[in-house]
Structure 1
């Protein structure tokens, strides 16, 4: 291995460490606790080393968001592929989405609530964000109904899931009724 290759590998490892540490700190204490000073202390590198990887917190949030989007896409696809039939796939997708949001609140916020400097619904949208949407579209497109654009249907269904996730976490919806909400959402919106 050349010196250049070793340096690139070490740089990639440091970047992964920064992202993992930011994510862990955010999940434990919230995004306000994630500062370059605290990250530098936790990973035992100087702040200039952090800045050599990320210009600031916004870029770190963006990196966590991209990692989280990949995980969300994987979870949704795994859930939908584990069952048979359109209704079961859509229901499994909805539960996987809501479970991800509940288990990873800081990552979910990085993807959908915080400014990580990422473009959504644009030509330059990063691939992990496009793939997360594609993971939803794969199952939801088949239940959009005749004459309904599958992409628009997916956006509306996703918006409803996002609303359930954020309102439940904020304590505005009772957490015990998630199953009822998913059933209502699937039954009312999906053409089965």
Structure 2
């Protein structure tokens, strides 16, 4: 292995340590606790080393969010039961989405709430975002004449439910009933 390859590997490993530390701190103490200074202390690097990898905290949050999208897409695809009806597939994905959000609250917050600089629905949208969107659209397509708009609406509904429940504005015990109603709206749309 040449010197350049080793340096590139070490750089990638440092970036991964930074992202992993940010994710761990956020899950443990919340995103307000994730500062460049605290990350530098956590991984025992100087702040300039972190800034050599990420322009600012938002860029670190963006890297965490990209990891989250890389996990979300496969999670949604795996959730769909074999031989599921279109309505069952919608319910499987909706349930998996909500489970993902509530099992990984800090990761979800990085993906959908905090500033990241990640562009959605643009020509330069990262592939992992496209893949997560595609996992949702795969279950919307059989029931929609306009799957792209319907997928955006389905996603928005799930995100709204997530945020309202996360902040105690709707009753958590009725999550499954709300999922059934959303599925009913989309399953009858075509």
Instruction: State if a TM-score over 0.5 links the two structures.
Output: yes
**Post-superposition offset of 1:29:** 1.2
**Post-superposition offset of 1:106:** 1.3
Which residue pairs with 1:133 in the alignment? Answer: 133
Partner Cα separation in structure 1 for residue 83 and residue 63 of structure 2: 32
SS in 2 for 1:123: coil
Uncovered stretches (5+) of structure 1, i.e. residues with no partner:
none
Partner Cα separation in structure 1 for residue 52 and residue 71 of structure 2: 26
**Post-superposition offset of 1:84:** 2.0
Which residue pairs with 1:111 in the alignment? Answer: 111
Partner Cα separation in structure 2 for residue 38 and residue 71 of structure 1: 26
| Per-residue Cα deviation, 1:31-89 (whole angstroms, up to 9, x for no partner) | 11000110011111111110110011010011011110111111101102555221211
Partner Cα separation in structure 2 for residue 78 and residue 66 of structure 1: 19
> Is 1:164 aligned to 2:161, yes or no?
yes
Matches within 5 A, 1:81-96: 81-82=81-82, 84-96=84-96
Q: What RMSD in Å do the two structures reach over aligned CA positions?
A: 1.3
Aligned with 1:185 (options 163, 178, 182): 182
Which residue pairs with 1:152 in the alignment? Answer: 149
Partner Cα separation in structure 1 for residue 116 and residue 153 of structure 2: 23
Uncovered stretches (5+) of structure 2, i.e. residues with no partner:
none
**Post-superposition offset of 1:99:** 0.5
| Per-residue Cα deviation, 1:154-177 (whole angstroms, up to 9, x for no partner) | 111111101111101100011111
